Structure 1
Amino acid sequence: MMLSRGFVQLYTGNGKGKTTAAIGLSIRAAGAGFKVLFAQFLKTAKYNEHNILAQIKNIDMKTFGRGCLIRGKPENIDYKLVLEGVKEVKKLINTTQYDLVILDEINVAVYYGLIEKDEILNLIKEKPLSLEIVLTGRYAPKEFIEVADLVTEFKEIKHYFHQGILAREGIEK
């Protein structure tokens, strides 16, 4: 299946649900027969979405990270993993086998300087016309907001994390 025109979607903000929304879109797209590439940056395959998405025909999961940078600073390996990931995603996009590509947490990778925003802007500019791309993560640069066709900001109003509740199995991870 192929879209006649693919758009650029951006999910950003400090609220919970950006990756979850991208997962939902991936499932919907796969259900419609679309081929999906779900590329997660700064994460490892230990998140539970990998358990189910790997079972869904038409969804390919890739991870390019060793864990989120919630605490701590990036190390050389983080730069290397993100750069290799973006190169692999560009190569896969050029095969034109995908209808939807999710770049999960790519905004955070740009924010931490692990990849130049121009690399991602070029990826968007050079994408096939029929390819839909979703960029997720807080700290979206204004240039991503400007180039995107759809921007959704997830805003935290209240979160139990501030009460000392850490990420829970099956809910946040």
Structure 2
Amino acid sequence: YIPLKHAQYLIPIALFVALYGADGLLLIWKKLSRHPLGAVSGFALFLMGLIGLYQTFLLVNKPKLSWTNVEMLSNLEKVWQTVPKNEYILDLDGSTLYYPDPYYACCLPFGQWQGFLSQPLPSLSKALETTKTKYIFQGSLKRVTTLQPTDQAYITDHYTISSMGGELLWMSP
């Protein structure tokens, strides 16, 4: 289970963090620059901070250079070859966008925030029954586990893991 916290939600506050950070650095610089050695030591601290930020950047981003989506694309290729284009797929991952969607909310782990909505979402089990949905694509993160317990129970009772692995579930015979 991955809680899916997204960094873009921190963007609005980043402006204030930058302003207060710059203000703090300016105050420190003003105090240090009053003394002859203060300016040199302030510059040295600034340079050390830049080097530290650069090292942190490398530490965070270097592993990402080797990431590929080859495995995900090969799994999706199998899904595209197996599932007819006119069949409904409950997509919890956003990878099967070109298939009809049986439910009001798609492409998201909506079970994580479903309880916080002011208006409840329609019944997932009824939507799957009404549209006779045969397939559920949960992706590599097994997003069925993010659904509400009643929806998880319905899916467990009516769907089985496909022979392609745990990403695709299909309706039990």
TM-score when scaled to structure 1?
Answer: 0.35
Which structure has the greater CA radius of gyration?
2
Report the TM-score when normalising by structure 2. 0.35
Structure with the bigger percentage of helix? 2
Q: Which has the higher contact order (CA 8 A, sep 6+)?
A: 1
